[in-house]
């Protein structure tokens, strides 16, 4: 089942064609990676999907509903959560309170149960009372994912989640993401190609705001256009 479908999605900034007529499909329950050179339009594209940036042309459907003109908060309520490339936690609040801010949007009766479920899922249950800003960088990234999970998303968009993580933390991250599917569909923007090739069911390559290729990791690895533009083959 197709969870998200974009057709002809376009966003220009002056003369820069950041996203230029992109068609894109996400299958429910998959891990889908979005890769491409710096400046390819990846972050602008996912900002269009989650409503942080308005599309100038094209359409977006989520779970069969046209969301092209919906504001970001309405898309969150429908089940789209986006974690940022740069950690965006509330450093002075506790770990628990960071996640509670997300969970309370769902109107759960048992707020604590919802918060602890999200923290336990990323392995931070024991740090619930710790001030978020005192966590290690790797744990702050995990907290951000817990905040996304606190929204009970159908689609979780992760923007450069392994940036700055140590090798051991990356292995833990991969285990975490694998455990999210098929309940949660994951769209992953990632420069670490080992992570991409190990995790992704499918990969879409953007270049100059357009789709260069979409396929399995093996297909993308063997694609000569992708090799020339991005993989250095």
pTM for the predicted model, two decimal places: 0.91
Report all structural domains of the chain as residue ranges with CATH numbers, in order of start: 1-74+155-163+192-233 (3.40.50.300)
pLDDT over 60 (residue 81): yes
Look up residue 89 and give its two tokens: 């936690």
For residue 133, count CB atoms less than 10 angstroms from its CB and return exposed for 0-12, middle for 13-18, buried for 19 or more: exposed
- What pLDDT does 232 receive? 61
pLDDT over 80 (residue 35): yes
Are 200 and 181 in contact, with CB atoms under 8 Å apart?
Answer: no
Interval 154-192: pLDDT, tens:
999 998 888 888 888 899 899 999 999 999 999 999 989
**Integer Cα distance of 129 and 123 in angstroms:** 14
């Amino acid at each position: 089942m197709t969870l998200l479908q974009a057709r002809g999605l376009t966003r220009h900034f002056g003369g820069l064609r950041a996203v230029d007529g992109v068609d894109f499909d996400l299958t429910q329950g998959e891990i889908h990676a979005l890769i491409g050179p710096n400046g390819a339009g990846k972050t602008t594209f996912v900002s269009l999907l989650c409503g942080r940036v308005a599309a100038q042309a094209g359409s977006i459907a989520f779970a069969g509903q046209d969301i092209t003109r919906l504001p970001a908060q309405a898309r969150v309520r429908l089940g789209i959560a986006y974690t940022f490339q740069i950690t965006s936690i509330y450093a002075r609040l506790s770990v628990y309170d960071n996640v509670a801010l997300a969970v309370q949007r769902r109107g759960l009766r048992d707020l604590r149960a919802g918060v602890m479920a999200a923290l336990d899922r990323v392995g931070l249950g024991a740090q619930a009372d710790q001030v978020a800003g005192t966590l290690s960088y790797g744990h702050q990234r995990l907290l951000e994912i817990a905040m996304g999970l606190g929204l009970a998303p159908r689609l979780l968009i992760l923007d450069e989640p392994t940036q700055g993580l140590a090798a051991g933390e990356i292995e833990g991250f991969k285990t975490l993401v694998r455990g999210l599917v098929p309940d949660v569909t994951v769209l992953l923007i990632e420069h670490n190609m080992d992570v991409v090739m190990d995790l992704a069911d499918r990969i879409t390559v953007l270049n100059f705001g357009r789709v260069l290729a979409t396929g399995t990791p093996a297909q993308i690895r063997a694609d000569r256009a992708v090799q020339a533009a991005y993989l250095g083959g």
